[in-house]
Chains A and B, each alone.
Chain A
Amino acid sequence: MEIVLALLPVLLKAIGDAVEEYRQSKIDHAALAARVDQALIDAQSKLAQLKADHDARKAAFQHALDG
């Protein structure tokens, strides 16, 4: 019991540090999650645009050969 009481301040500090670290990681975690969401939204239409551009160029190529 005496040992536990003697170690209590150390344990409380360790818990306090861990809680603070966890709280900070949650903030960073939320910022990263928001960044990922935004990046995915920005990237969403790129493949469709790539395909549209390629199809237009392919048509221009065939037109040039036919013309």
Chain B
Amino acid sequence: MKRVSLALLALFTVACATTQIDKARQAIVIGVTVYGSGVEGLNAIDESVTNDLIKKYRNGQLTKEQAIAAYEAWEAKYTKAQKALVILWDSLKTAAHVASIADAKLGGDVTKAWGDLLAAIAAAVDALKAVGVTGLGV
């Protein structure tokens, strides 16, 4: 009877650990979607903004100083979103690494990595939306 109880307890423990790892992996799949859509969206907006400024400068709608100021303002926003994507990428790699370690029963704080990843996804979504990127899949 005691052995049966222990076996059931062991199965329950393994099932719980698996759930945590799977939750982390599901968050990684969502994070990769946000990351992929975010990179594409940011790239498209960067192209659009830069081309628009060049066009306006050539048409005489903007002076050189105005074009430079507008570009610098855009680049500040762009850099913020790009940095959020770098952090998201690092969190994705860390979560995947930690999930693999935990999967191999070698330790690893899956819950922390999962939390960090969710925070990075939220920050990236905010930063990308701030520059006009839509269709992030969340």
Chain A residues packing against B (C-beta within 8 Å): 4, 11, 14-15, 18-19, 21-22, 25-26, 28-29, 32-33, 35-37, 39-40, 42-43, 46-47, 49-51, 53-54, 57-58, 60-61, 64-65
> Contacting B25 at CB < 8 Å: which of A33, A53, A61?
A33
Chain B residues with CB under 8 Å of A11's CB are 4
> Contacting A33 at CB < 8 Å: which of B50, B64, B93, B99?
B99
CA distance A15 to B5 in the complex (A): 10
Q: DSSP class of B's interface residues: helix, strand, loop or mixed?
A: helix
Chain A residues with CB under 8 Å of B116's CB are none
Instruction: List 22 A–B pairs whose Cβ atoms lie within 8 Å, in order of A's numbering.
Output: A11-B4, A15-B4, A25-B15, A26-B18, A29-B18, A29-B21, A29-B103, A36-B32, A40-B32, A40-B93, A43-B36, A43-B89, A46-B39, A47-B89, A49-B43, A50-B39, A53-B43, A54-B43, A57-B47, A57-B51, A58-B75, A65-B57
Q: Count residues of chain B with CB under 8 A from any CB of chain A.
A: 45
Given contacts A47-B89, A50-B43, A64-B54, contact A21 B96 (CB under 8 A): no
Are B82 and A50 touching (Cβ within 8 A)? yes
Chain A residues with CB under 8 Å of B22's CB are 25, 28-29, 32
Sorted nearest first, the 4 A-B pairs with minimum C-beta distance are A39-B32, A57-B50, A46-B39, A64-B54
Chain A residues with CB under 8 Å of B64's CB are 65
Q: Is B119 an interface residue (CB 8 A)?
A: no
Chain B residues with CB under 8 Å of A61's CB are 50, 53-54, 67, 71
Chain B residues with CB under 8 Å of A58's CB are 50, 75
> Contacting A65 at CB < 8 Å: which of B18, B28, B68, B89?
B68
Q: Is B58 an interface residue (CB 8 A)?
A: yes
CA distance A21 to B8 in the complex (A): 12
